[in-house]
Structure 1
Amino acid sequence: MINIRKLEGELWESADLLRQGSKLTSSQYCMPVLALLFLRYAYSRYKLVEAEILKNRPSRGGRVMPVEQSDFAAKSALYLPREAQFDFLVNLPEDIASVGLENKEGQPLNSLGEAVNNAMQLLEEQSEQLTGVLPKSYTMFSDDLLRELLRIFNNKTIDEVGGDIIGRIYEYFLSKFAKAVASDDGVFFTPKSLVKMLVNVLEPEQGVMLDPACGSGGMFVQTGDFVNAAGMNANTQMTFYGQEKVEYNAQLCLMNMAVHGLNGRIVSGDEANSFYHDAFNLARKCDYVIANPPFNVDKVKAESASSAGRLPFGLPGVNTKSKEVGNANYLWINYFYAYLNDHGRAGFVMASSATDSSNKDRDIREKLVKTGHVDVMVSVGNNFFYTLSLPCSLWFFDKAKREENQDKVLFIDARKYYTVVDRTLNEWTEWQLCNLQAIVHLYRGEAEKYQALIEKYNSAIQEAVSEMMEQVKPFTELLDAETETQFKRSLTWLEGSWENYDALSKKLNEQIEQTKACVKSAEEKLKKREVKPMRLAGDEFCKVLESILIVIGEYNWLTEKFGKGEYHDIAGLCKIATLDEIAEKNYSLTPGAYVGVAEVEDDGVDFHERMNEIHAELAKLNKEANALMDAILKDWETLK
């Protein structure tokens, strides 16, 4: 089985190593590398469609008729002229001039950089959506570096995996570049777990979707994945519109959508500045609005913003001297609501301070709450962004809430619910996203979706356990005969059926310890060169066991709170509040103000007794510190 995560990591590591050996910055390297990935995607798609066309191709005089551009147009696929095909570029000789290539203007192509620039130009001519988007700056690369990049992306494993693997690799590269480029030029990438949470709660099915601050297009891609996963076709079900002021980001967005097979209308530059333009005239016309706008923007011209409209709740605070909006958060909130049609839903990321900001913001929030269309509010903890450590919040509007929820809002405080990726980054795993979505389902009265999740957990756990015998083979094959026999005996419990997850967790933990013990035992019996691969295989098997424990842990987290599927307010996590309760709290939309604090389990320690012990320990340490200081001073005196 091919490990896709490992493939992503290896491709990135190879490509970034090349950058480090050049004089290029991450921002210079980012767009050309992503465009090469796109070219690789286009070539893979081209070969698939070509094979499909050739299946039933008529022949004349024993020769199959050549494939033409019109054949690809009939299948809504990009046609690639020979000079734009990835394998053509990969196989070019070192002496490019000897091939006699020319561009459209008849000028000779004398370097690999010029040949790739020409390929990008030819590719753009095949798609109106890509016109002017792809970079043509490959002559800044040395031919050696460019040739090595082409070789890296020519990895045959990509074709073996199939499916949307290049889309995944593109997103992976985009996320890696986001860390490096962000320090140079702001944010263009919203972490995937936040995007998934927005899409999961919106549950898009069909209609018009707008992202008025679309960055690199992650919201559209995730929506496409969601709709396609439901058995529909995103391109026929959804119409995507995006505004992105920074042209560089808009180009990333168009490539990102294209590499995922999505169509959309994206504008950039001055006309895409959402404070002053409704570029597509979409006020009151959107089924879905989704966004991660820039937080706390200042110096927005109040008169121009007011003239641009989409302010159902009025302007936020304006500086009387400069005539500028001091903080644009509530301009965005106005826009997101204004774009919705009568049954529309909105989901967006916002600075956590906006849930409780005062003055004009508070007045706007009151009007918003009184519409009854605020649906769900989620607090997110620190370190979910690559460049910001501050917490944020997710807001959701729904103009077609069910009758029972018309005067209610679901508050979720998820600040303590996450997985640590590394020292500076947190995320929600797939199972954690499912659990948070399950709370929303129960609030919406969709108990059947909760039950479907429970079945999904059971299937995943049972399937993972049933596959363990296969997954342990790489480890057992590297053990000495005696240790292998001993270890296989420890696996006999797998033959049983496991519906009691507490007992299963206990067995999994025992198996981890047994595996570690067998690694130590085998280390003493194997040859030196055999030890490292055996140890690595043992570690991998332990990770398999730990991954099952994680799934069981998330299952327990959910079922301990909501049992078979009945919503309950959970202290410290979630609460359904009425509009009257929100009014009592001065229209704050901060989840922590409603959910309260989780009960702390009694650890059996007497507080006063423990405090007396701590005071006694502290007094003893102070006494020892004073004695040590006296000794140091005496020694110092003798040295004078």
Structure 2
Amino acid sequence: MPDKEQKFFDSLDKKLWNAADKLRATLDAAQYKHAVLGLLFVKYVSDAFDMRRQELTEQFNTPGHDYFLDPGDYYAEAEYQAEIADELEIRDYYTEKNVFWVPQLARWQILRDNATLAPGTGIKIKNGKTHTYTFRSVGRLIDDALEAIEQDNPKLKGVLNKSYGRLQIDQSKLIELINLLSQIPFAHDTLQFKDILGHVYEYFLGQFALAEGKKGGQFYTPKSIVSLIVEMLQPFRGRVYDPAMGSGGFFVQSERFIKAHGGSLGSVSIYGQEYNHTTWQLAAMNMVIRGLDFNFGKEPANTFTNDQHPDLRADTIMANPPFNMKEWNTGVSDNDPRWQYGRPPTNNANFAWLQHMFYHLAPNGSMGLLLANGSMSSNTNTEGQIRKALIENDLVECMVALPGQLFTNTQIPACIWFLTRNKKARNSFRDRSGEVLFIDARNLGYMKDRVLRDFKKEEIDKIAGAFHAWRKGEGYADEAGFCMSAKLDVITKHDHVLTPGRYVGAAEAEEDGEPFADKMARLTARLSGQFNESAKLEEQIKQNLAGLGYKI
């Protein structure tokens, strides 16, 4: 990203979060998250509507344009302006450009203007004739705006979180929040307003995940991990599926990847499922903000007991399911057709997620999912048997070991499994039958703050580049300590353990030219000096404590 754009976003982030932080004093992070993001959604659809409205106004006044309204056809200026006002309220003008129709009550300027009125005040909205609306609180005003949007856009039915009227918060705080979001600037030299608002939405998701701690991981996967998986699988076309989608991060990153590589968003179909109702709502709003068509099922539902896409066979599947989930199989048959390679144990859903995803994979499809490191080596219950079956059926394509501290919600070490149904030569891929690529990325990344680690872009490129080179057979070479392509018989000798560290070995240490005896003498002398310094400090501390009347 150019420095100018990055500085713009950094300044915007700081301004928004500092102000938002003051406003959420009376709500916990989970509640405030939905208060902010719901209003941000209204701001988006309203601004997209206003941009189209302005475009139409210009066209109505441009001679020669298909939509031109000739003033000479009207008796008076007032009649002419009234005709333009009527034309601007024709829904088809907006939907033909894939712009959400926003009813007057939900338009941001009207919402902002009327939020400052005292409850019970009549609100006049011009639409050829005057309409009066009476509201009881700012929260109810927002809820009614959301209800109006849902009624006019059936795809959003059940998606918007209409609970502002029930929030235990001073109504003045909601007015402050409306005024705050009104300050989001959409004017920039190179950025479109959709890019800016999409960034703000994602930024808030990340910040709320941090604020909520462990619970934040239910709806947010760190961007660097999502970017890595997307860069490796490259979902250019076909059906893309996430059975544990959270707020839809994999879909957002897929959109960015397609745009960055000159692809067409129309060539991708998005399918997802999410159990948590409010997170399901977040995901749908996340898609609408970016203008992405999607199918998240009829309702939020448990992936194992109420599969919303039973007949789906996806070309690309990506997911970050809950790690080591217990008691997941209530209501799931032991003979479920998804358990083709073994029934997953009751106390851990890792291989249930993996097999569910593989069941939904198309004949030439590929998938990547995050799992806890234990999945690579555990022999508890049936886990070892399932892993062995996957390996012997030549379904595992690549294993990536990740560094620690990448997640906001857990310190459990994690890895990425990449599976495919077809390793035969096709398109630009060589025949990888009987091979698995192991990548050890545990030493990559940098600490972006005191708690979280992140990947640099060049590190993501290094990992993804090794995978693509290996797949194509062009420019790949094993690198000690980082990557190795192993045959199935080698993996069998390791008892079907898939931990990359077992295969890649240790990186070769650089020779510094210093003889061992000399280096040992130098380091020993340094250690002796440090011991002496430690003794002096210890004695000084004792003297200081003695001066205060304490004796050790």
CA distance in 2: counterparts of 1:26 and 1:639, whole angstroms: 47
Aligned positions of 1:256-335 closer than 5 A: 256-267=286-297, 272-282=301-311, 285-301=313-329, 304-317=332-345, 325-335=346-356
Cα deviations by residue, 1:468-499 (Å, 9 ceiling, x for unpaired): xxxxxxxxxxxxxxxxxxxxxxxxxxxxxxxx
Matched, 1:166 2:197: yes
TM-fit CA distance, 1:315: 0.7
Q: Which moved more, 1:62-71 or 1:386-395?
A: 62-71
TM-fit CA distance, 1:112: 2.5
CA contact (8 A) 1:219 1:290 kept: yes
Compared with structure 1, are the counterparts of its residues 442 and 184 closer, same or farther at alpha carbon in structure 2 (3 Å cutoff)? closer
2:272 counterpart (234, 242, 260)? 242
Q: Which moved more, 1:592-601 or 1:396-405?
A: 396-405
Compared with structure 1, are the counterparts of its residues 122 and 366 closer, same or farther at alpha carbon in structure 2 (3 Å cutoff)? same
Compared with structure 1, are the counterparts of its residues 629 and 264 closer, same or farther at alpha carbon in structure 2 (3 Å cutoff)? closer
Structure 2 partner of 1:575: 484
Matched, 1:69 2:74: no
Structure 2 partner of 1:90: 112
Structure 2 partner of 1:341: 362
CA distance in 1: counterparts of 2:538 and 2:402, whole angstroms: 48
Q: Which moved more, 1:143-152 or 1:606-615?
A: 606-615
Q: Which amino acid aligns with 1:443?
A: W
Structure 1 partner of 2:222: 191
Q: Which amino acid aligns with 2:15?
A: E
2:418 counterpart (396, 399, 405)? 396
Q: Which amino acid aligns with 1:296?
A: N
Compared with structure 1, are the counterparts of its residues 407 and 143 closer, same or farther at alpha carbon in structure 2 (3 Å cutoff)? same
Compared with structure 1, are the counterparts of its residues 276 and 112 closer, same or farther at alpha carbon in structure 2 (3 Å cutoff)? closer
Counterpart secondary structure, 2:186: helix
Structure 1 partner of 2:33: 30
CA distance in 1: counterparts of 2:436 and 2:539, whole angstroms: 64
Cα deviations by residue, 1:576-598 (Å, 9 ceiling, x for unpaired): 11112111211111111111110
TM-fit CA distance, 1:90: 2.1
TM-fit CA distance, 1:611: 3.7
Matched, 1:127 2:150: no
Compared with structure 1, are the counterparts of its residues 184 and 363 closer, same or farther at alpha carbon in structure 2 (3 Å cutoff)? closer
1:351 counterpart (362, 368, 372)? 372
1:440 counterpart (467, 479, 482)? 467
Structure 2 partner of 1:585: 494
Compared with structure 1, are the counterparts of its residues 589 and 106 closer, same or farther at alpha carbon in structure 2 (3 Å cutoff)? farther
Compared with structure 1, are the counterparts of its residues 44 and 611 closer, same or farther at alpha carbon in structure 2 (3 Å cutoff)? same
CA distance in 2: counterparts of 1:627 and 1:439, whole angstroms: 52
Q: Which amino acid aligns with 1:440?
A: F
What are structure 1's unaligned runs of at least 5 residues?
Answer: 318-324, 448-565
Cα deviations by residue, 1:29-60 (Å, 9 ceiling, x for unpaired): 11010111111111221122223334243425
Aligned positions of 1:472-621 closer than 5 A: 566-615=475-524
Superposed CA RMSD in Å reads 3.0
Q: Which amino acid aligns with 1:390?
A: I
Structure 1 partner of 2:387: 365
TM-fit CA distance, 1:183: 4.0
Q: Which amino acid aligns with 1:343?
A: N
Compared with structure 1, are the counterparts of its residues 93 and 373 closer, same or farther at alpha carbon in structure 2 (3 Å cutoff)? closer
Counterpart secondary structure, 2:212: helix
Structure 1 partner of 2:281: 251
2:54 counterpart (46, 51, 56)? 51
Counterpart secondary structure, 1:443: helix
Matched, 1:419 2:418: no
CA distance in 2: counterparts of 1:621 and 1:209, whole angstroms: 58
2:176 counterpart (148, 154, 161)? 148
Structure 1 partner of 2:400: 378
TM-fit CA distance, 1:102: 9.1
Compared with structure 1, are the counterparts of its residues 225 and 368 closer, same or farther at alpha carbon in structure 2 (3 Å cutoff)? same
CA distance in 2: counterparts of 1:626 and 1:255, whole angstroms: 62
TM-fit CA distance, 1:351: 0.6
CA contact (8 A) 1:275 1:305 kept: no
Q: Which amino acid aligns with 2:390?
A: L
Compared with structure 1, are the counterparts of its residues 579 and 18 closer, same or farther at alpha carbon in structure 2 (3 Å cutoff)? same
TM-fit CA distance, 1:275: 2.4
Cα deviations by residue, 1:421-443 (Å, 9 ceiling, x for unpaired): 11111111223222222112211
Cα deviations by residue, 1:279-318 (Å, 9 ceiling, x for unpaired): 21136x221211100011112337724244311101134x
CA distance in 2: counterparts of 1:243 and 1:316, whole angstroms: 20
CA distance in 1: counterparts of 2:87 and 2:101, whole angstroms: 13
TM-fit CA distance, 1:232: 3.4
2:123 counterpart (87, 101, 123)? 101
Matched, 1:6 2:32: no
Q: Which amino acid aligns with 1:570?
A: E
Compared with structure 1, are the counterparts of its residues 316 and 58 closer, same or farther at alpha carbon in structure 2 (3 Å cutoff)? same
TM-fit CA distance, 1:378: 0.8
Q: Which moved more, 1:132-141 or 1:214-223?
A: 132-141
